[in-house]
Amino acid sequence: MPRQLHLNAFLMNTGHHEASWRLPESDPYAHVELDHYIRLARIAERGTFDSLFLADGPQLWGNIAQRPAGALEPLTLLTALATATQHIGLIATASTSYNSPYNLARKFASPDIISGGRAGWNIVTTAGAEAARNFGLDAEPAHAERYARAAEFLDVALKLWDSWEDDAIVADKAAGVWGDDSKIHPPRHKGTYFSVEGALNVPRSPQGYPLLVQAGSSEDGKAFAARYAEAVFTAQQTLADAQAFYADLKSRTKATGRDPEHIKVLPGIVPVIGSTEAEARANEQVLEDHIVHRHGVANLERLLQLPGRTLELDGQLPSDLPPEDAIEGAKSRYTLIVELARRERLTVRQLIGRLGGGRGHLTFAGTPEQVADAIETWFTQGAADGFNIMPAVLPSGLETFVDQVVPILRARGLLRTEYGSRRTLRERYGLPRPANQHVTTTPALASV
């Protein structure tokens, strides 16, 4: 089987562009409408995407004057979408800093069962003091501590998902034996952050556990991904940076004793498509013209940790910004934005324009062929195993991508034309079903 792209549809209310909700075509209330998401899921399924993805944080994100805010809880929404779709994977974000492993392991095992093995977990440590203050803390835990807690969280969650062997249910009516107690393995975990005694209260799910996805690109983030993640979402602005990230992550994964093929790297891309290059650029300009710059300035001042200082809209970023080491929030995104501004000598106004589409993810305006070329280049030049497709405007941007770019990728043999016999999300990503840590052989999926 030739290597093929993995595509994930990163869904965000009316689109990733911060001004998308202001376009005449957009419904500013769509962010909490189930029908909107069902429509998006079905378009992505028509494009034979591997999965859908929803971001999340346990706080009201951003500035509600700027764009639609507040969202449906991702696991709840994805479970509803599981019943409206047949094939596509369903990846929900949940934080290891503001959840406990027992509850969360159960919450992910349930949709994996309901969807027939299509659930995935985007594991995040959650940057920012706003979330911390919603959970009895005055400030966010230090970056290194958030990742230390994340590692123990995963160890406990894996013990919980493995606490049922695949064949623990025997349902022997004649003998009057429903389950085999010898196949239940309580974690009896006592660690730094968690104590968890008993087995999970959900049987083992079709995939064993959800696909494990990670989305932080700092040193600690990459170390964590190399150990646990099966797919990684990342923001990369240049081919060279993406190649360096890809090579680094694959070699770190190998160093942990894992097969580097078993971690799929998916950079984000915000495609803005037009039938000519000029039309694509004009579409991009329409979006940029709808940006309200005062919101962008406030966002940048917060992200760059500049309390009490005002950024000049037509000036450059200050030269005395703190180094990444001094950042306790989202380290890799901080560095990406500062490097982007400095590399291209952008004014604050231009930087806000560049971030408006994808908050640091690569925005690419072009014809369907040019978008397909960019995707093919990154895929074949060691920068990506696939992409997080982040349409600037939804649903139209996803529809255009599926109707106009997907056929080109298929014609080039880079993308599947149908889902075929692979049923689970992990199978779609070409990954093996994980073994249960308590058994030496993994039963075939069919016997689960």
Ligand X SMILES: Cc1cc2nc3c(=O)[nH]c(=O)nc-3n(C[C@H](O)[C@H](O)[C@H](O)COP(=O)(O)O)c2cc1C
13 binds ligand X, rule: CB under 6 A: no
332 binds ligand X, rule: CB under 6 A: yes
236 binds ligand X, rule: CB under 6 A: no
Rounded to a whole number of angstroms, the minimum distance from the CB of residue 97 to ligand X is 9
3-class DSSP state for residue 375? Answer: helix
Is the CB of 251 or the CB of 276 nearer to ligand X?
Answer: 251
3-class DSSP state for residue 143? Answer: helix
Rounded to a whole number of angstroms, the minimum distance from the CB of residue 339 to ligand X is 13
Rounded to a whole number of angstroms, the minimum distance from the CB of residue 171 to ligand X is 39
As a whole number of Å, the end-to-end CA separation of the chain is 26
- Give CA separation, 172 vs 152, 179, 200, 202, 269, in Å: 37, 8, 22, 19, 52
- Other Cβ atoms less than 10 A from the Cβ of 361: the count is 24
Rounded to a whole number of angstroms, the minimum distance from the CB of residue 434 to ligand X is 22
Among the listed residues 75, 60, 232, 57, the one whose alpha carbon sits nearest the alpha carbon of residue 127: 57
215 binds ligand X, rule: CB under 6 A: yes
394 binds ligand X, rule: CB under 6 A: no
Residue 339 half-sphere exposure toward CB, CA atoms < 13 A: 14
With 0-12 / 13-18 / 19 or more C-beta atoms within 10 angstroms meaning exposed / middle / buried, residue 236 is buried
Among 15, 47, 57, 68, binds ligand X (CB under 6 A): 57
Q: Is the dihedral of CA 312, 315, 319, 323 positive or negative?
A: positive
Q: Token pair of 274, please?
A: 């037009």
Rounded to a whole number of angstroms, the minimum distance from the CB of residue 58 to ligand X is 9
Q: Report how many residues bind ligand X under the rule CB under 6 A.
A: 24
Q: Token pair of 374, please?
A: 């960019």
330 binds ligand X, rule: CB under 6 A: yes
Q: Cα(346)–Cα(349) distance, rounded to whole angstroms?
A: 8
Among 13, 26, 85, 234, binds ligand X (CB under 6 A): 234
Site string for ligand X, 128-157 (x = CB under 6 A): ---------------x--------------
Among 115, 253, 388, 424, binds ligand X (CB under 6 A): 388
Contact positions with ligand X (CB under 6 A) in 74-113: 93
Write out the H or E segment, with its range, that includes residue 387: strand 386-389
Site string for ligand X, 150-189 (x = CB under 6 A): ----------------------------------------
Which parts of this chain interact with ligand X (CB under 6 A)? Answer: 55-57, 93, 124-127, 143, 215-218, 220-221, 233-235, 268, 330-333, 388
